[in-house]
Amino acid sequence: MYYIGVDPGKTGGIAILSSVSGVHGVLGVTPMIIAGSELDLSAITDWVYSYVLENNAICYIEKVSAMPKQGVTSMFNFGFSTGAIHGIIASMEIPRYLVTPTQWKRKVLTETNWKKNKKASVDYCRRAYPHVPLTATERSRVAHLGMADALCIATYGFITEERHEL
């Protein structure tokens, strides 16, 4: 089974976990793929498809909503990007579920103070998946929060579907 986690938006990320014969591992993690100033929908589709070749996948997408003091144009663009991600996953006939940030953080970030630490997901991923680089590029020095969140969301899917506790 493949577990896809998506933190939507231009600063988000996508992660894919695999659980085959009881072995749990990270197949891939990427920041959201951008072309110019927009999501590269074709490249995102190709990236997901390159890992998920069979129909035994499930996708968890972070449920997002408007934030106070965000502009109308910004929210429209964010909503469009989120809807495009839903469309990509739906076109691949992968079941998708929405998960709120509170839901996945309560289940995955149990040993951290995630309410006060914005980078709790980065800390968790460094402990749980030490071999997975969380930088957007090889030259980056700072961990990409969207990639870490996506990996945590995929982990939430794994825990939820397989009924495993980490």
Contact 70, 53 (CB under 8 A): no
Domain span at residue 110 reads: 2-162
Q: Are strands 23-31 and 13-20 parallel, antiparallel or unpaired?
A: antiparallel
- In the block, tokens 């990509």 appear at 88
For the chain, the domain total comes to 1
pLDDT in tens, 26-37: 999 999 999 988
pLDDT in tens, 79-102: 788 889 999 999 999 999 999 999
The residue-averaged pLDDT of 69-74 equals 70
pLDDT in tens, 102-151: 999 999 898 777 777 888 999 999 999 999 999 988 888 889 999 999 99
Q: How far apart are the first and last CA of the chain?
A: 17
- At residue 62 the predicted structure's pLDDT band, cuts being 50, 70 and 90, is very high
Contact 32, 78 (CB under 8 A): no
DSSP state, residue 33: P
Residue 66, pLDDT above cutoff 70 = no
Hey, what are 138's tokens? Answer: 């090889």
Cβ-proximal residues to 42 (8 Å cutoff; 6+ apart), any chain: none
Domain harbouring 25, CATH code: 3.30.420.10
Residue 76, pLDDT above cutoff 90 = no
The percent of residues above 90 in pLDDT, for the chain, comes to 55
Residue 40, pLDDT above cutoff 70 = yes
What counts of helices (H) and strands (E) characterise the chain? 5, 7
